Structure 1
Amino acid sequence: MSTRLPPGLVVELGRHVRVYDGGRTLVGGAPPRLLRLPATAAALLVGRRVDVVDARSERLAERLLACGAAAPVVSELPPADLAQVTVVIPVRDRARPLDRLLTGLLGRLRVVVVDDCSRDPAATAAVATRHGADLVALPRNHGPAGARNAGLARVTTPLVAFVDSDVVVGPDTIATLARHFHHPRVGAVAPRILGLPGTDRPNWIARYENARSSLDLGPTPALVHPRSAVGWVPGACLLARVEALGAGFTDGMRVAEDVDLVWRLTAQGWQVRHEPAATAWHDHRDRPTAWLGRKAYYGTGAEVLARRHGPAVAPAVLTPWTAAVAVALLAQRRWSLPVAGAASVVMSVRLARALPGDGGRARLATELVGRGLAATATQTSGLLLRHWWPLSLTGSLFSHRLRRAVLAAALVDGLLDHRRLAPSLDPVRFVLARRLDDLAYGAGLWAGALRGRSARPLLPGFAPRRGAAGGTRAAAVR
């Protein structure tokens, strides 16, 4: 297999990547780091883009892609051949959604439907036959991982698209994703997953999910990597290179099997990408019991992932100085603000001395420390409200300071989220839904940890100290 990038590839810096020193210093990536470019490489960065036209621009583009600082401009990639793709659909007693999904594919791709031991197998078989799909009927229920693997065993094409039966995609969705596989190190790509348009008057849960679904990973292309902004992609719709998958999903996993697969791919050196230029639509749960139950179910997967991937599942990643700032502010004493401010100033000075370059180091160091503080505030709120809420709730009964911190975090976090997402839902019900989301997920997280007798999914991690704030790692691009 060729290791060269496709001719004419154009890569673009992510919108959260900051550029300093005339393009010679970049801050961003997955996970975040500080990148130093020599002047010759910085000259290739024009309007935040790099066009691959020779060996030097190819090396720069490859490095930016590999560290997550840039993503391919998908419209500039060569078109894909849909004959190279097989769609695998696991299904159990969802004949009508299956019919809807197959209708959307327009008969343009080979499809394998895996009936995961339906109670009414005839209905599933009738739909598959009507659309000309191959049918694999399992004699017992295997769950999503086993059902997808049974379909994968029938795939003879280089690429396989796993699509759940409650998802709707079109050929254009898969064609857009498939363009990424011109890059030889891409192992899997997922689209942005939005809520499936339904009733003209969706209830408040549906409107919340349409704005903040667990499956919607946002509008920004990203390299998927543990401990980064996009740390996983859902298996509900995933296009993958068969060569990279090996045996596929881990048999027997009924939750978090998609996260496990993605993390195994990245550990093996494959790139996994989130591509929002392609869209799939998911039939979100909007009944309170089903919605909360699904959130709690997702939470139970953390313990399984902790056993398989260790610290990658940490609910927060801090550095010693950001942890010290968080503890000082949560203490709410007279010395809290002076201590937090002093720690930030000391870190800014130390960071400015460690940064390369002559001019603007103080400003860059200050900005990096500010970003570290913002990330720490977000993660601390997540710990109080989502991952550790049983402890927060219990502690709030005895400590007015903790109670004040939890209430402030609950309101500020929810209102900032409402402003950022601009959902078609008033702030009161949005904040309520946000907090119920956290409570349900956290309940599942603790249930899984207790069942597995392991505190690992509850423990924060610490980023290595490599000379930058908030765990940002320094690296040079040659």
Structure 2
Amino acid sequence: MLRPDGRTHYRALAVADVDLDRGTASPRPPVIGPEHQPEGVHALVWLHGHPIGELTLPGDPQTLLPGLPGVAARELATAVDAHLLRDALATCGGLERARSRGLHSIPHPRETLDTSQITVAVCTRDRPEDLRRCLAAIQLLEPAPAAVLVVDNGSADDRTRRVVEAFGLSCVREPRLGLDWARNRALLEARTGIVAFTDDDVLVHPRWIAGIARAFTEEPGAVGVTGLVAPAELATPAQVLFEAYGGFGRGYARQWMSVAVETGEVAARVHPGTGGAGTGANMAVRREETLALGGFDPALDVGTPTGGGGDLEMYFRVLAAGHLLVYEPSAAVYHVHRRTESQLLRQMRGHGTGTYSIFAGAALRYGKVQAGEFLAFALWWALHRHLRAHVGQLLRRRPLPWALDRAETRGMCAAVLGRYYTRARRQAVQQQGENPDEPRAPALVRPRARRTRDHTPDPVVTVDLARDGGESALRQGSPVGDSRARRVRLVVERNGVAQAHLVVRTGGSPLTPSRLRWSLVQRLGPAVLEPGAVWQEPPGPRARRGSGSDAVAPHVQIVVVSDGAEVHGRPALDAVSAQSDLIGASVTYGDSPGAARPGEHGRVRRHTMAGDGGAQPAEEVLVLLRSDLLVAPGWLQELLVPLADPGVAVVTGRVLPAGQSGTYAQWRDYQDVLDRGPHRAVFDGDWLRSSRGPARLWEIGTLANAAVRCSALSRLPSVAGPAALTGAVVSEDFFYRVLHAGGRIAYAPAAVARRVAAPADRTSVRAEVASAATAHVASLLNVVVEHRDLRGLVRLGVVLPRQRLRRIWHVLRGRDDIPADLVVADLAGLVRGLAWWRWRAG
């Protein structure tokens, strides 16, 4: 919401909806009228009835609106493609069609949504004009809900009743003052399984109920659903400031919140603050499950001393009970923000009182474990949010008015020092006593937590993107994986060949097909369609596919570097030899001193490389592969394609973990430092020099799976044998030398090699974790000492200690379930890395 100068906010903006399907931009009329001439346009962008992003442009609205669809399509091209990718995954044969005809050829899947079990509830008090606008928007809902219920929370006159009667709707009067009393009354009066709440200062989108029904249908385990809250108008400076402060919007991607309580996760550790889930102005809950938890806490929210927090505390109780909460952006509404500065400051104070009435009041009734976590988070939030905001104001680094931060901080202090929650509880008891005949929700249920450590293995789910069975699993069927697990490990294959390993945090909720699609697109992006693809990649030689012989001259030597285990060498040689025949490459088995050698293998030569970096072969390209890696079909071709660019000196491939099922094996895979992700990348000297911290050479890859031009081999440091070539220290030192000399390094994730399954007992995994930490520290020191690049000292002295202290804290608090002995092994490896380098340097 900042002007182009980056220092001041707009005074007013026109609000518009952009429909990319129709190519139109429709301005939303101000609810009351602008106080100032709009200085630009704030647009909500829609595709297939789903909001995919927002856009703010300066200028005259009448001039901007005609060209707004084109601008939005360009600026949000990545969001458009992500939406179309999810459509392709949800369509039979969609991926193949997208590959052959393009993403825009995919039609949006048709859906039949049942809204017969949804009641819309509007809680209101003494705001008849706001209510009139709200109900007028509700009447335009398509499809329509089963019923609309208005709860009059003790209005001073009968204007509310008359407005409701004018629309032919039912109105229930709730005399006990407080928004949560009204919400509970709606739960008690409703006769459907789902109750969707909105406020009287909200204008619902015509497809709001459809979005709620979609979320409950695709996520049948959800107990609560929240949605996008966009501004209905930005006609005053106060409304613009509230949106700039954060507003009510929570983004344009579906989100899942849950806690694996059965495995010992503590809700107050995982989700102590639930503000990221959404707001009560746009939420829906399953009626029976919510009443089983006691409904909403009548000591919270508007109408009580606490002034807010009733929705957030309800979200937390849903999570603490082990239920699922879903944020669905397609369930969109428009909120009329406070128009004046005094109203906005009062609202910000209410945010402070409501939040800390939960932390310092309601949270203390969840038992010692939860209460302790809440208090720790409350202290952290006071420092992180409030103190940092005031320091930023003093240093003039915060563009928002200081009055907003002061108002929220005053609310925080008042809630704690004034014990607002205790006062609100007394008020609730008093009101119930004054209205004994009014219906009341069951007693509040605040789930306790238990301190346990569960190190059971994560379930492993395999999805093949190129087979009908895999696509069917994405489109329909039962949830996959153990619904009690904290995580699911997802193996993504293409024609039976592993392409990616993903860890999806499920938090005790099932991995549904819809969640699977979102996870794949969020983590892999366009690599779902084409291995290695990146967002908005321009067409060019890199997108070309073909054999390696089309890309480079067939003068290639492949060196399979022994890791000392014969059982590993034989499968690697078999796979490599089959591919080397395609381009007539020679294959060499490079032995380390004393390494076990595999038996005779046709057309494979044994060679012990000298300690001077290796003899210079006559071939133009040297391909290195560690013998504990099994290459996928097409590996060699993919590794050689980037070398068609004469400026590329080195190409690294992707190394996937073994994907074993044991607890320690999975933690070894999780700690594996060889996988560099699903997207192609090119690194050059500018990348090396532009990094503010140490050059992140570990992101380039490893020589354990790489192709090197022989002209670049002279930059290899002196090593004791071929096995050392594939180590992290030598790899990163070599990468630094190549980039520093002006060469380029390409990362080819489609050149996949997968680690051979190895013993995963505690001792071996601890050794691997320690070795990886040692190599990382040694590599950083090597860059500092050998290349006089001091940027690595910051990572050594600040970043790594901070990361490890945070991990130790999380393990001690139970927020991280990594086995403690692996944490100790990692720390020992870091220390040994320092000592090892001092010994070698000396």
Q: Note whether the superposition's TM-score is higher than 0.5.
A: yes
1:437 equivalent in alignment to 2:404: yes
Shift of 1:279: 1.5
Question: Residues 259, 111 of structure 1: CA spacing in aligned structure 2 closer, same or farther, 3 A cutoff?
Answer: same
SS at match of 2:400: helix
Give the equivalent residue in structure 2 for 1:117: 154
CA distance in 2, matches of 1:78, 1:95: 36
Contact kept? 1:90, 1:163, Cα under 8 Å:
yes
Q: Which residue of 1 aligns with 2:165?
A: 129
Q: Is the alpha carbon distance of 1:193 and 1:157 closer, same or farther for their aligned partners in structure 2, counting shifts above 3 Å?
A: same
Output one character per residue of 1:61-91: Cα deviation in whole Å (capped at 9) or x when no partner: xxxxxxxxxxxxxx76953212211011111
Deviations 1:131-166 (A, max 9, x none): 12111023x342110011112111111111111111
**Alignment RMSD (CA, Å):** 3.6
**Secondary structure, counterpart of 1:269 in structure 2:** coil
Aligned residue identity for 1:235: G
CA shift digits 1:372-427 (9 cap, x unpaired): xxxxxx996524244xx5xx6xxxxxxxxxxxx7634x50xx3xxxxxxxxxxxxx
SS of aligned partner of 2:116 = helix
Is residue 2:237 matched to residue 1:237?
Answer: no
CA contact (8 A) 1:163 1:235 kept: yes
Partner Cα distance (2:189, 2:356) in 1: 32
1:16-415 superposed matches below 5 A: 78-106=111-139, 108-109=144-145, 110-120=147-157, 122-138=158-174, 140-182=175-217, 183-197=219-233, 202-224=235-257, 226-227=271-272, 231-246=276-291, 247-254=294-301, 255-306=308-359, 307-309=361-363, 310=371, 311-312=373-374, 315=377, 382-386=385-389, 389=390, 407-408=394-395, 410-411=396-397, 414=398
Distance (Å, rounded) in 2 between the aligned partners of 1:287 and 1:293: 10
Q: Aligned partner of 1:152: which letter? A: L
Hey, what's the Cα distance between the residues in 2 that align with 1:89 and 1:453?
26
Unaligned runs of 5+ in 1: 1-14, 16-46, 54-74, 319-377, 393-404, 415-430, 455-461
Conservation of the 8 A alpha-carbon contact between 2:149 and 2:169: yes
Instruction: Please state how far the C-alpha of 1:192 moved relative to its aligned partner.
Output: 1.1
> Are the structure 2 counterparts of residues 210 and 432 from structure 1 closer, same or farther at C-alpha, using a change threshold of 3 Å?
closer
Per the alignment, do residues 158 and 453 of structure 1 end up closer, same or farther by CA in structure 2, a change over 3 Å counting?
Answer: closer
Q: Secondary structure at the match of 1:82?
A: coil
Structure 1: distance between partners of 2:170 and 2:197: 14
**Maintained 8 Å contact 1:249/1:258:** yes
CA distance change for structure 1 residues 316 and 257 in 2, over 3 Å: closer, same or farther?
closer
Deviation at 1:228, TM superposition (A): 7.1
Give the letter aligned to residue 382 of structure 1: R
Q: For the residues of structure 1 that align with 2:420 and 2:203, how far apart are their CA atoms?
A: 39
Q: SS where residue 113 of structure 2 aligns? A: coil
The structure whose Rg is larger is 2
The residue type equivalent to 1:128 in the other structure is: V
The superposition leaves residues 193-239 of structure 1 with CA deviations (integer Å, 9 ceiling, x where unpaired) of 111126xxx22222122344442223332224624796442111111
Q: Secondary structure at the match of 2:418?
A: helix
Number of residue equivalences: 302
Give distance in 1, aligned partners of 2:290 and 2:420: 31
State yes or no: 1:446 paired with 2:378.
no
TM-score by length of 2: 0.33
Give, in angstroms, the shift of residue 260 of structure 1: 0.7
Q: Per the alignment, in what secondary structure is the counterpart of residue 252 of structure 2?
A: coil
Asked if the contact 2:277/2:326 (under 8 Å) is kept, the reply is no
What is the rounded CA distance, in whole Å, between the counterparts of 1:228 and 1:77 in structure 2? 36
Q: % of aligned pairs identical?
A: 25
Whether the 8 Å contact between 1:169 and 1:279 is mirrored in structure 2 is yes
Q: Retained in 2: the 8 A contact 1:190–1:234?
A: yes
CA distance in 2, matches of 1:263, 1:280: 23
- Structure 1 pair 466–382 and aligned structure 2 pair: CA distance change class (3 A): closer
Distance 1:48 1:156, change over 3 A: closer
Cα pair distance change 1:233/1:105, threshold 3 Å: same
Distance of aligned partners of 1:228 and 1:449 in 2 relative to their CA distance in 1, 3 Å threshold: closer
> Residue deviations 1:289-346, cap 9 Å, x none?
111011111101233212322334655797xxxxxxxxxxxxxxxxxxxxxxxxxxxx
The answer for the alignment partner of 1:323 in structure 2 is: none
Output the CA distance in 1 between the equivalents of 2:299 and 2:176.
Answer: 10
Give secondary structure in 2 for the equivalent of 1:127: helix
Distance 1:209 1:284 in 2: 7
Structure 2 counterpart SS, 1:83: coil
Supply the AA of the counterpart residue of 1:407.
Answer: L
Q: Distance in 1 between the 2:109 and 2:314 partners? A: 28
The structure with higher relative contact order (CA 8 Å, sep 6+) is: 1
Structure with the higher fraction of residues in helix conformation: 1
In the superposition, the TM-score normalised over structure 1's length comes to: 0.56
Distance 1:451 1:259 in 2: 21
Partner of 1:26: none
Q: Is the 1:79–1:175 contact (alpha carbons within 8 Å) kept by the matching residues of 2?
A: no
CA distance in 1: counterparts of 2:420 and 2:186, whole angstroms:
34
Distance 1:316 1:219, change over 3 A: farther
Distance 1:266 1:294 in 2: 26
Cα pair distance change 1:317/1:119, threshold 3 Å: closer
Aligned partner of residue 153 in structure 1, secondary structure:
helix
Change (3 A) 1:452 1:316: closer
Q: Give the secondary structure class of the aligned counterpart of 1:119.
A: coil
Alpha-carbon distance in structure 1 between the residues aligned to 2:388 and 2:339: 22
Aligned partner of residue 101 in structure 1, secondary structure: helix
Alpha carbons of structure 1 residues 317 and 245: separation in structure 2 relative to 1, 3 Å = same
Q: CA deviation at 1:281?
A: 0.9
User: 1:452: how far off?
Assistant: 2.1
2: distance between equivalents of 1:258 and 1:180?
19
Q: Structure 2: where are the runs of 5+ without partners?
A: 1-52, 54-84, 92-107, 259-270, 302-307, 364-370, 422-805, 820-842
CA contact (8 A) 1:317 1:463 kept: no
